[in-house]
Chains A and B, each alone.
Chain A
Amino acid sequence: DGGITQSPKYLFRKEGQNVTLSCEQNLNHDAMYWYRQDPGQGLRLIYYSQIVNDFQKGDIAEGYSVSREKKESFPLTVTSAQKNPTAFYLCASSINGLTYNEQFFGPGTRLTVL
């Protein structure tokens, strides 16, 4: 079945540690996205990538980093510079990043900083 997988579902991290969230898609989509969801704030765009080896900052990129070495993978690293990393993280993909193409979402990763 085609889709987007995110792992792990729950992630715990000690303050000051970097952590990487996985996002994989087998939909052959060019574009991929990372969103952060906090209670009462909806979803906010962290980073997006329209093509392999290229990515751009979204609205809240500070304290995060990404890579796009393969079409099907778009991992997100939450660094120790992120002041409030506890949140729900959603990955999405679309056929391409031009104008409108439906974004399909993964099941998400809940990150908790202890």
Chain B
Amino acid sequence: AQTVTQSQPEMSVQEAETVTLSCTYDTSENNYYLFWYKQPPSRQMILVIRQEAYKQQNATENRFSVNFQKAAKSFSLKISDSQLGDTAMYFCAFTAYGGATNKLIFGTGTLLAVQP
């Protein structure tokens, strides 16, 4: 069974600074996708970034980038130039590629607070 672990329940960062959120996962699959979702106080889930396991290049989306270490099964999210609007719960998630369903496995989340 696949599992996703986020070991940082809460983190804090000053505005304009950089912060890294950690995620590790366990799977016997070779082909899969990894995601970071953001859930602001409104509780709307928003996809931040995704990484295909077969791609060696780390994904980036503006101020958001990942450090994907397939052998170590690690998938961290780096937020550069943090903004107050980045305050949210962040979830790491996994789905196997080519499976029978588009099932997402979520971690327990990291609550990020951006301080002015």
Contacts and interface: CB of A to CB of B under 8 A. Distances in A.
Interface in B77-114: 91, 95, 97-99, 101-104, 106-109
Interface of B: 4, 9, 33, 42-47, 50, 91, 95, 97-99, 101-104, 106-109
Contacts, number: 53
A100 B91 contact: no
Interface in A86-110: 88, 90, 92, 94, 96-103, 105, 107-108
Contact of A94 (B97, B98, B102): B102
Q: How large is the interface on A (under 10, 10 to 19, 20 to 34, 35 or more residues)?
A: 20 to 34
B45 A42 contact: no
B29 to A, nearest CB: 12
Contacts of A41: 108
B95 A107 contact: no
Contact of A45 (B9, B46, B50, B104): B104
CB-based closest 3 A-B pairs: A105-B45, A42-B106, A43-B106
B43 A97 contact: no
A107 B102 contact: no
B43 A99 contact: no
B25 to A, nearest CB: 13
A56 B42 CA distance: 29
A48 B103 contact: yes
A88 B43 contact: yes
A108 B43 CA distance: 7
A50 interface: yes
A42 B25 CA distance: 14
A42 B109 contact: yes
